[in-house]
Amino acid sequence: MVIKRYEEAGADLARRQGYDGIICGHLHFPSVLNIDGIVYCNDGDWVENCAPLVQDFDGNLRLVAHRFDHY
């Protein structure tokens, strides 16, 4: 699958650069994954998913589903 290869390539890039993770966007597949010890985050998009990526006070990253009930 193309998406899985993209995720793995991003994690590999982060690893080669010495980073703990990578944050991407606009792939239309929101996810927070651990790929062989590398945190891969993608907030998807703001048209179909509206899933912002947030970090809590403990440093944890997660996606939040946002609803536009007023439209």
Is the residue at 71 inside a domain?
A: no
Interatomic CA distance for residues 1 and 50, integer angstroms: 23
Is the residue at 27 inside a domain?
A: yes
Is the residue at 14 inside a domain?
A: yes
**Domain boundaries, position 36:** 2-63
- Structurally, how many domains does the chain consist of? 1
Is the residue at 40 inside a domain?
A: yes
Residue percentage of the chain with pLDDT more than 70? 92
pTM: 0.85
Interatomic CA distance for residues 3 and 67, integer angstroms: 25
Coil, helix or strand for 53?
A: strand
pLDDT tens-place string over residues 15-43: 999 999 999 988 888 999 999 999 999 99
Q: What angle is formed at CA 68 by the lines to CA 62 and CA 69, rounded to 5 degrees? A: 125
Interatomic CA distance for residues 50 and 33, integer angstroms: 18
Mean model confidence pLDDT for the chain: 90
Interatomic CA distance for residues 37 and 2, integer angstroms: 21
Average pLDDT over residues 43-58: 87
